Amino acid sequence: MKIVVLLKQVPDTADERKLDLDTGLQDRDASDLVIDEINERALELALRSKDADKSTEVVVLSMGPDSASTSVRKALSIGADAGVHVVDDGLAGADAARTAAVLAAALKNVGFDVVIAGNEATDGRGGVVPAMIAEHLSLPLLGNLVSAELSADGVRAERQVSAGTQSISAPLPALLTVTESFDEARFPNFKGILSAKKKKITVLTLADLDVPAPSGRTTMVNTTERPARAAGVKLTDDGTSATALVEFLASNRLI
């Protein structure tokens, strides 16, 4: 079985994340860049399949600038067998539709039985790319899962919905997205780090992929900096503070 894990490099959530107000894009220099935690969980799911069946091949696929190669390398240290890095100046600031089209083309290029992605990235929070990829590739989409079992016959999984838990299944090939219910990735193993140096990262550019030119793209109309935090409201108790507090909470729709 060949599993491809989609991996996005994002600003560390522990740091303060900044938007470049001129371009409307994230300021990559403002914080440490790391593998999106949700993708690490996706990778862990793939590696557990590999633990159970050594013949499983785990490939990580990332689209991003040159810096993303460190995240691909880290995934190899954690245990992935190979990496694919799509990097092209023409992809700077690519929107969700463009990203999905390129990743779908890259997936065709790489080949797979299962694709595992995070349900949404911690920076963009769009959560639409996996569904778009599934559409491009005509794959069954098993999204927002809380658990999953992979086998050569197919995927059995569970999804939490407001009314309860859905049990769903699909034959392979299929695309899964995981939520935070999945376990965090294991720590890189000392020998894994050394052997990762010998693993291959394939670099692809747009010229290597069969992607039609986009018919349009999202354009950033306006950006505004988050307003500074305003001072809190202080209620002085002159006998009416209970009423004032209720009014305050009600006017802010907190009760």
Partner 1 sequence: MNDYRPPLDDINFALEHVIGYPEIAELPGFEHADLESVTELLAECGGFASEAMAPTNRQGDIQGSHLQSDGTVQTPDGFKKLYKQYVEAGWGTVPLPEEYGGGGFPRTVGVAIQELMTSANMAFSLCPLLTQGAIEALLHYGDDELKDRYLPKMVTGEWTGTMNLTEPQAGSDVGALTTRAVRREDGTYAITGQKIFITFGDHDMAEQIVHLVLARTPGAPEGTRGISCFIVPKFLVNEDGSLGERNGVETVSLEKKMGIHGSPTCVLSYEDATGYLIGEENRGMRIMFVMMNSARLGVGVQGLGVAERAYQQSLAYAQERQQGLAIGATGSSSPIIDFPDVRRMLLTQRAHIAALRYLMLLDGSYVDRSTHDPDPAARARAEEIVGLLTPICKSFGTDLGNELTSLALQIHGGMGFIEETGAAQHMRDVRITAIYEGTNGIQAADLVGRKLGVRGGASIMEFLSTMKEIDTALSAAGEDFASIRKELATQFDALEEATRWMLANGQTDPNSVLAGSTPYLRMWGLCTGAWMLARAALAAQTAGDATLAKNQLVLARFYAEQLLPQSGSLLGAATAGSADLFALDAAMLAG
Strands (DSSP E) found in 57-151: 57-63, 82-86, 114-118, 141-151
Task: Judge whether 19 and 132 are in contact, CB under 8 Å.
Answer: no
Tokens of 240: 């009416």
Nearer to partner 1, 79 or 130 (CB): 79
Within a 10 A sphere around the Cβ of 146, how many other Cβ atoms?
Answer: 15
Residues that bind partner 1 (CB under 8 A): 77, 186-191, 193-194, 197
Taking the complex as a whole, the smallest distance from the CB of residue 69 to partner 1 amounts, in Å, to 14
Q: Which is nearer to partner 1, 44 or 88 (CB)?
A: 44
β-partners of residue 177 are 117
Handedness of CA 120, 125, 127, 132 (dihedral sign): negative
CA–CA separation, 126 and 231 (whole Å): 31
Cα angle 22, 27, 32; round to 5: 175
Nearer to partner 1, 5 or 196 (CB): 196
Q: Which of 76, 97, 94, 55 has its CA nearest to residue 7?
A: 76
Using the minimum distance from each CB to partner 1, give the nearer residue, 70 or 165: 70
Measured from the CB atom, the residue of 190 and 226 that comes closer to partner 1 is: 190
Nearest distance, CB of residue 136 and partner 1, angstroms: 35
* Cross-strand partners of 202: 84
Distances (CA, A) of 39 to 130, 182, 183: 12, 10, 11
Which of 164, 118, 123 is CA-nearest to residue 145? Answer: 118
Q: Which is nearer to partner 1, 190 or 228 (CB)?
A: 190
